Structure 1
Amino acid sequence: MRNLVIAGVLVILALIVITQSLFIVQETEQVVVTRFGDVQSVHTSPGLYFKAPFVDSVINYDRRLLRIDAPPSQFLDRDINILEIDVYGRFRINDPRAFLQTLTTEENARSILAQRINSSLRAEVAERSREEIIGGDVELDESGEPVTDDEGNSRVQPTNSRTELLEDVIAAVQANLAQEDPSFGVEMIDIRVKRADFPQEVAGRIFERMRSDREKISRRLRAEGEEEARTRRAAADRDVEVILAGADRDASRLRGDGEAQAISILAESLNQDPEFFSFRRSLDAYKAFLNQRTTVILSSDAPIFRFLQSPGEGSSETTNGQAVTDPLGLQQK
């Protein structure tokens, strides 16, 4: 029984020693083995490795790209305008031994690198205008004046100024890291701007100015619209007057032509058959006054009754060879 206990204890101790002696390096890791603070070995390839049990410590670092989220900071551009810029970066640990001896942890590395990025960015921003920082520039015409859209806003064309700014910042950070002695053991890969905006304390004044500009533009557009409306109404009224005058002229001419043709036809009809013409005029007179509620006192010998009393005689009566054109006998002789 005692031998079994001793064997069990030995097996447990052996397992503990084995687990303390072996460690695994993953594909995404790089490992630094230290003994009482001194670096014993560095392993960057994945696999199973041995170390001295109980006295050696294993420190793991990520081999992948690591992200830096620098806190938003306020910067002054070339025109002394305050901009709040939020940036992030990517870096890689390329020397785990130097990294352990200088920066020690990834969080500490992020903090120090964020300070270096903001310092280099501040120097580059101070040499550029707001348009260059944002990555756009006001479009100018041939005379050098800003080109505006229909609402009066200046047109902005994209430029490479923002890319050039970030390239200069990366170069400045890399040069700064290269001067470190001892080296930090990191490599700066990329820096990007997440947001570039005005700070909150001045945003209200900027929005008020933008609102004032929009109101000014709206007033100008309304004034231009009213002027255009007046111009078009005046042109339309003028066109209406011209059209009406032309229509009156054409109507007068057509009425004159019609009356002339009617007179011509009437004269032609009178000349062709005066007796029939006199008979038709009498019928028209009958139709005109017999349907009215008007009392007309006429003599029985009035010319109007000629066709009623003796149509044959009435139709043949003429005055000096001319047809009777006044069947009512109202004309003065």
Structure 2
Amino acid sequence: MMMDVKPVKKQKLAMNRIALLMTFLFALGLVASTMFVVDQRQSAVMVSGLGNFKRVISAPGLYWKWPAPFNRVMLLDKRTQIASSSKPESYLTADRQEVFVSLYIKWRITDPTSYFNRFRHELAPAQNQLLGLAYTALEAKRGQYSAAELAANSNHQIISVLQTQTAHAAREWGIEIADIRITHLGFTAESNDEVYKQMGAERAEVAQQLRSAGLIEAAQVRSYAERERETILAQGYKRAQMIKGDGDAQAVAIYASAFGRDPQFYRFYKSLDAYRQIFRERDLIVVDPTSDFFRFMHNPAGMPSRKP
């Protein structure tokens, strides 16, 4: 009995194609498992199969890991993270007032090696320990301030101390502290009125100090302005006198030049000028008409009058 070989060949050909496709997919998966991408927001830490640190990759790009089953890659986020307390912490101030404080911290990973050795690639443990550092620093300093001072300096002196101490400790973990802020500062109902009164008194004292400093500065500015005014006026007067002296000298020179060229005309001109300055409308003047002052009225040449 003869068997038909064509169906058998087709069946073998289909199985070969399936095997070839499975081999291709396996090879593709193997190649893909040896590649990883690092973008600009991340740092990659390559570790061995036993979890031991091998190297850090900070530059973005496409990288290979080989052998794939024995090397793993953990990605660390380089962007700024925010750690905030879930509930306020209670403290006693220097004046024995109970306050409730909530903090938030902005931080980023700057040293992937130190960070990985302490926290691996997790964020939550780092955030909890950073908050613990900040609250410990606040606990050490809160006894130096009253409740009102704590409220007044919550964004200035105390924050500066918290950030300095927390940043110093976090630097050893490969973390940089960008900012620390007090998001909530609450008081008990019994101490609210007392705290607000104390804050008002302290603010009034600060306002008085600012006003006094302003008055002193205003007096200094006015004194300086007066000195500058006197100096400018003295310099202006000196300059005016110099200009006036130069003008008088030039006028005298011009008059002398004119008098030297035509003395008779000069005397006539000056006499007319004297008449204009002395005589006014409806003036009554009793003088001797034969005096030399009126000689140009009697004689155009200005010859002296002969008295009888």
Which TM-score applies when normalising by structure 2? 0.54
1:110 matches 2:103: no
The residue aligned with 2:114 is: 98
Aligned residue pairs total 178
The residue aligned with 1:197 is: 186
Query: Which among 168, 174, 177 is matched to residue 185 of structure 1?
Result: 174
Q: Secondary structure at the match of 1:172?
A: helix
On the 8 A contact 2:97/2:191 being kept in 1, the answer is no
The Cα offsets for residues 54-103 of structure 1, whole Å up to 9 and x where unpaired, read as 22212111111111112410112121111101110011111112211112
> Which stretches in structure 1 are left out of the alignment for 5+ residues?
136-159, 214-333
Is the alpha carbon distance of 1:106 and 1:161 closer, same or farther for their aligned partners in structure 2, counting shifts above 3 Å?
closer
The residue aligned with 2:35 is: 22
Q: Tell me the amino acid that sits aligned with residue 91 of structure 1.
A: W
The residue aligned with 2:97 is: 81
On the 8 A contact 1:93/1:187 being kept in 2, the answer is yes
Is the alpha carbon distance of 1:76 and 1:206 closer, same or farther for their aligned partners in structure 2, counting shifts above 3 Å?
closer
Q: Matched residues, percent identical? A: 22
Q: CA deviation at 1:206?
A: 4.5
Q: CA deviation at 1:131?
A: 2.3
The Cα offsets for residues 240-297 of structure 1, whole Å up to 9 and x where unpaired, read as xxxxxxxxxxxxxxxxxxxxxxxxxxxxxxxxxxxxxxxxxxxxxxxxxxxxxxxxxx
Q: CA deviation at 1:187?
A: 1.5
Map 1:34-53 onto structure 2 (within 5 A).
34-36=47-49, 37-52=51-66, 53=68
Is the alpha carbon distance of 1:97 and 1:176 closer, same or farther for their aligned partners in structure 2, counting shifts above 3 Å?
closer
Q: Tell me the amino acid that sits aligned with residue 185 of structure 1.
A: G
On the 8 A contact 1:102/1:184 being kept in 2, the answer is yes
- CA distance in 2: counterparts of 1:86 and 1:61, whole angstroms: 27
Q: Tell me the amino acid that sits aligned with residue 112 of structure 1.
A: Q
On the 8 A contact 1:132/1:162 being kept in 2, the answer is no
On the 8 A contact 2:34/2:64 being kept in 1, the answer is yes
Q: Tell me the amino acid that sits aligned with residue 109 of structure 1.
A: A
- Structure with the greater alpha carbon radius of gyration: 1
Query: Which among 162, 172, 186 is matched to residue 155 of structure 2?
Result: 162
The residue aligned with 1:122 is: 139
Q: CA deviation at 1:161?
A: 6.5
Q: Tell me the amino acid that sits aligned with residue 110 of structure 2.
A: N
> Which stretches in structure 2 are left out of the alignment for 5+ residues?
1-12, 198-308
On the 8 A contact 1:133/1:162 being kept in 2, the answer is no
- CA distance in 1: counterparts of 2:16 and 2:154, whole angstroms: 80
Q: CA deviation at 1:23?
A: 0.8
Q: Tell me the amino acid that sits aligned with residue 144 of structure 2.
A: E
1:8 matches 2:24: no
Q: CA deviation at 1:123?
A: 1.3
Q: Secondary structure at the match of 1:168?
A: helix
Map 1:136-155 onto structure 2 (within 5 A).
none
- CA distance in 2: counterparts of 1:35 and 1:161, whole angstroms: 46
Q: Tell me the amino acid that sits aligned with residue 194 of structure 1.
A: T
Q: Tell me the amino acid that sits aligned with residue 135 of structure 2.
A: N
The residue aligned with 2:165 is: 172
- CA distance in 2: counterparts of 1:169 and 1:54, whole angstroms: 45
Q: Tell me the amino acid that sits aligned with residue 138 of structure 2.
A: L
Give the superposed CA RMSD.
2.0
Q: CA deviation at 1:45?
A: 1.8
